Amino acid sequence: GDSVTQMEGPVTLSEEAFLTINCTYTATGYPSLFWYVQYPGEGLQLLLKATKADDKGSNKGFEATYRKETTSFHLEKGSVQVSDSAVYFCALNPEGGTSYGKLTFGQGTILTVHP
Amino acid sequence: GAVVSQHPSRVICKSGTSVKIECRSLDFQATTMFWYRQFPKQSLMLMATSNEGSKATYEQGVEKDKFLINHASLTLSTLTVTSAHPEDSSFYICSAGGQTSLYEQYFGPGTRLTVT
């Protein structure tokens, strides 16, 4: 079945540091890939997405590129802020069929940014 | 943007009782809603898919008689945990599919259930 593997956290960084959270996936065909963010006490919010190979999703300074050859969708940000402290989830939506819409999530990575 | 609410945000109940959790799409109609369970420091696990006006579809290993799902309207789905036990304590999250596509989903803030 489909699966998503994220780098284990927690990740602790100083403000303005560079961030990378690794994400790899196993799925058939070309799933859509997502990064969701969960701030303390809130629901998951879509951060960015990519639907096909070599697509780059970006939002709020975060970027991730859909790499079919390495089945990866690593999240990056050049300069993190304290307000970026949250839990980040990588997820995939199957290409189609009866499982379409059933998101598979990675285990989540806790990011803490210190001033 | 699309907003999904859940109620209650936290609930504590005694073992053997039943608890109902509501999931509402506030500003759009959701023909499909999803229920997830999240254990501490673990990922979200899909429990069931709820379609308005029809029976829910449960994932393998999820007891449908224990986790009753009702999707009576385009804006409301409910999850009832029946005869709750301490092992049912968890964080339950719902999401609602977009009005025209399941490509994007909008998540509720979650409900923390503690069974004593």
Q: How many CB pairs under 8 A join A and B?
A: 48
Q: Looking at residue B58, what is its pLDDT? A: 95
Nearest-Cα distance to chain A for B31, in Å, is: 12
Question: Which residues lie below 8 Å from residue B48, measured CB to CB, with a gap of 6+?
Answer: B34, B35, B56, B57, B58, B59, B62, B64, B67, B69
What tokens appear for B51 in the block? 């379609």
pLDDT at res. B7:
97
Q: Do B46 and A41 lie within an 8 Å CB cutoff?
A: no
Judge whether residue A28 has pLDDT over 90.
no
Spell out which residues of chain A touch residue B95, defining contact as CB-CB under 8 Å: 44, 103
Please, what is the average pLDDT of chain B? 90
Looking up tokens 């879509």, which residue turns up? A46
For residue A12, pLDDT over 80 is answered with: yes
Q: Is residue A80 over pLDDT 90?
A: yes
The pLDDT assigned to B100 comes to 58
Does position B21 have pLDDT exceeding 70, yes or no?
yes
pLDDT at A101 over 80: no
pLDDT above 80 for A29: yes
A102-111, B10-19, B22-31: which is most confident: B10-19
- Residue of chain B whose alpha carbon sits nearest to that of A48: B104
Contact A46 B93 (CB under 8 A): no
**Residues of chain B contacting residue A49, judged by C-beta atoms under 8 Å apart:** 104
Question: In which band, very low, low, confident or very high, does the pLDDT at B72 lie, cut at 50, 70 and 90?
Answer: confident
Higher pLDDT, A40 or B34: B34
